[in-house]
């Protein structure tokens, strides 16, 4: 595509996600032209994230406005329509400009025949918007902007909190940092941010965490020098709960991109840490982060569920299993989860989690700890997995997690999305007796 107009670029990104099931972040990297200005690139990102965040609602509104369903080959036109409605309802772009530029994008994607259609639909939406908004409470999928199956799962698992979780999923996430305490203090990081004109404050619970207004981390020398990393506060608790000490042998079983591996080493660089991941490209990110932060770990590309391929027979005193999951706790960071996930994906994820737990438990030393973590809010992936392990392994004991964050769950602690501004995370700490 030769077009450089932001809305035309955004339409191609949305097609890659909606039709080809690509991750939004990957599609943006692949399709975004390097020649776009910083301002236009930011607009493309906002249009894609926002449209996918509210897609179930936008689709609901679009359906009665289009007399004949668009063909699959015209998904880019549908993307422009959804994008146009997102601009009219959620962005501060003047309505006439939003409509004009979205209509013009039809020519940029080489579909001039759609000019009249997009113009007519968006102007009709403007006229009927008050009535469409008034109807929202009668249609839960549109009101909460979540697919029906996911809405029901969350409501079943969290009958007292489901509305708050769904609302948090539709909000913009905070920008959280983790200070590398081997190189500077948190107060020193706050001072560096203030000197750069960036507003920031300490996290509520993480002693290494800072919440800042969004900025490009590459603009601060401290990032390249390894003085801080980007990491949500909820993900920073693994280092505390594992309690790694000098000389301990530690396994980070699904380590990429290496945020938790690095945090463990920032806390205790004298530990012998192995970082494992089954994706060679993602394992490369572990190497990059270790190098930037000035840390050292053994990085291997292997399936944690097949220890015979990589384990040397020496037990680990600590195992971190940040298990592959539905990622339903980080939807606000990855809104494409709403359209890319299916109920069968949860079944597959749960099977993988159970396989990994069963394979890794024998590798844990007596008296050692295994920390099970997901960024999910679904009980089948969390308390369901830990309950099954405890029933299957008589030498497994759930350790209490005495903290102020999250909500108490059987054997564990659950952070619900949006609680104290954090992502949705689950933690369970098991000891081998």
Q: Any idea which residues carry the catalytic annotation?
A: 375
The secondary structure of 356-419 as a DSSP string is HHHHHGGGEEEEEEEEEEES---GGGTHHHHHHHHHH-TTEEEEP---SSSEEETTEEEEPTTG
Q: In this structure, are residues 169 and 378 in contact, taking their beta carbons and an 8 Å threshold?
A: no
Residues whose CB is less than 8 angstroms from the CB of residue 403 and which lie 6 or more positions away in sequence, other chains included: 205, 237, 413
Q: Parallel, antiparallel, or unpaired: how do β-strands 425-432 and 364-374 relate?
A: antiparallel
Measure the N-to-C terminal CA separation of the chain; round to a whole number of Å: 60
Residues whose CB is less than 8 angstroms from the CB of residue 244 and which lie 6 or more positions away in sequence, other chains included: 250, 264, 267, 268, 271, 318
| Spatial separation of the C-alpha atoms in residues 346 and 380, rounded to whole Å | 8
The number of residues making up the chain comes to 433
Structure tokens at 339: 């359209």
- Helices (H), ranges, 136-203: 140-144, 148-157, 162-169, 186-195
Bridge partner list, 249: 272
User: If we measure between CA atoms, which residue out of 204, 285, 253 comes closest to residue 374?
Assistant: 253
| Spatial separation of the C-alpha atoms in residues 53 and 17, rounded to whole Å | 13
| Spatial separation of the C-alpha atoms in residues 135 and 376, rounded to whole Å | 31
Query: Using only C-alpha atoms, what is the Rg of the chain?
Result: 23
Q: In this structure, are residues 406 and 414 in contact, taking their beta carbons and an 8 Å threshold?
A: yes
């Amino acid at each position: 595509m030769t077009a450089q107009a932001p809305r035309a670029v955004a339409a191609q990104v949305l097609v890659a996600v909606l039709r080809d099931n690509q991750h939004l972040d990957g599609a943006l990297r692949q399709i975004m032209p390097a020649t776009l200005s910083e301002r236009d690139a930011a607009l493309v990102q906002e249009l894609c994230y926002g449209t996918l965040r509210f897609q179930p609602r936008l689709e609901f509104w679009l359906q009665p406005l289009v007399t004949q369903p668009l063909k699959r080959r015209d998904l880019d036109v549908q993307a422009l329509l959804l994008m146009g409605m997102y601009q009219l309802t959620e962005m501060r772009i003047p309505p006439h400009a939003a409509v004009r530029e979205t209509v013009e994008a039809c020519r940029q994607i080489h579909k001039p025949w759609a000019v009249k259609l997009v113009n007519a639909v968006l102007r009709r939406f403007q006229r009927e918007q008050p009535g469409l908004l008034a109807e929202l409470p009668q249609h839960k999928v549109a009101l909460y902007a979540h697919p029906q199956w996911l809405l029901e799962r969350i409501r079943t698992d969290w009958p007292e909190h489901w509305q708050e979780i769904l609302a948090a999923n539709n909000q913009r996430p905070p920008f959280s940092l983790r200070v590398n305490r081997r190189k500077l203090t948190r107060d020193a990081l706050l001072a560096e941010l203030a000197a750069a004109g960036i507003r920031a404050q300490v996290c509520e619970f993480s002693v290494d965490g800072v919440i800042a207004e969004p900025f490009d981390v590459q603009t601060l020398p401290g990032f390249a020098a390894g003085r801080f990393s980007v990491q949500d506060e909820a993900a920073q608790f693994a280092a505390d709960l594992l309690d790694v000490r000098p000389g301990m042998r530690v396994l980070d079983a699904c380590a990429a991109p290496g945020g938790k591996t690095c945090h463990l080493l920032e806390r205790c660089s004298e530990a012998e840490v192995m970082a494992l991941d089954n994706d060679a490209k993602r394992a490369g990110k572990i190497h990059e982060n270790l190098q930037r932060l000035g840390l050292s770990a053994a990085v291997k590309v292997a399936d944690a569920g097949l220890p015979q391929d990589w384990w040397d027979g020496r037990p680990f005193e600590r195992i971190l299993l940040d298990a592959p999951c539905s990622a339903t706790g980080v939807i606000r960071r990855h809104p494409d989860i709403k359209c890319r996930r299916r109920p069968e994906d949860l079944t597959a994820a749960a099977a993988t989690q159970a396989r990994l737990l069963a394979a890794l438990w024998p590798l844990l030393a007596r008296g050692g700890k295994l920390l099970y973590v997901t960024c999910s809010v679904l009980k089948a992936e969390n308390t369901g997995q830990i309950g099954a392990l405890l029933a299957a392994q008589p030498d497994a004991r759930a350790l209490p997690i005495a903290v102020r964050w999250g909500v108490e769950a059987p054997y564990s602690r659950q952070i619900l999305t949006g609680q104290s501004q954090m992502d949705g995370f689950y933690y369970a700490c098991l000891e081998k007796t």
